[in-house]
Amino acid sequence: MYEGHVYLVAIMDWYTRAVLSWRVSTTMDAGFCIEAYREALRVSGRAPDIMNTDQGSQFTGEDWIETVEASGARVSMDGKGRWMDNVFIERLWRSLKYEELRLWSYGTVAEVAARIGKWMDFYNHRRKHQALDYEVPWSRYRTEPNGQDRKTLTKCKIPPRGTEARAA
């Protein structure tokens, strides 16, 4: 935007990398974050076991914590300076910035939201991920190939750090 800032929050399923919901705001209050979280609950049909965030003021406030705990999820916040604790959402921000946001100039919040919306649709439904065996996040999120219910992060076995498969 020519003047001011727009803040973005996204609620992501870590296992599939699917963005369940997102919102923009011109203020850093918790309201738009709570809206996004409630939308993610509607989309997923359940609360996560753990809701991980950074230590931003909107996530440390009483309104956010009460909303998350009331849904049945536990609140988890990254350690100070621990970007690796939230690496999936940090990677999403990087991709969005370099593939979309920094390529255009915006005059209104509505323009920013429209571009983000198009990019999120692309990310969820057309962008293939190596970590998902070159599937798109939304197809992996909605169904598993064997017809079983989708997995969640807490049901998955995560390999110890440093043992991930590496590209040749």
The answer to whether the Cα torsion of 136, 93, 149, 35 is positive or negative is negative
pLDDT tens by residue, 116-133: 999 999 999 999 988 888
d(CA 45, CA 85): 25
Give the CA count within 13 Å in the CB-facing half-sphere of 60.
8
147 pLDDT above the threshold of 80: no
Cβ pair 75, 62 in contact under 8 A: no
Res 143: pLDDT: 52
Tell me the three state secondary structure of residue 58.
helix
3 pLDDT above the threshold of 80: no
d(CA 10, CA 33): 8
155 pLDDT above the threshold of 50: no
Cβ pair 43, 37 in contact under 8 A: no
Predicted TM-score of the model (pTM)? 0.77
pLDDT tens by residue, 56-78: 888 989 999 999 999 999 998 76
Domains assigned to the chain: 7-155 (3.30.420.10)
Kindly give the pairing relationship between strand 7-12 and strand 19-25: antiparallel
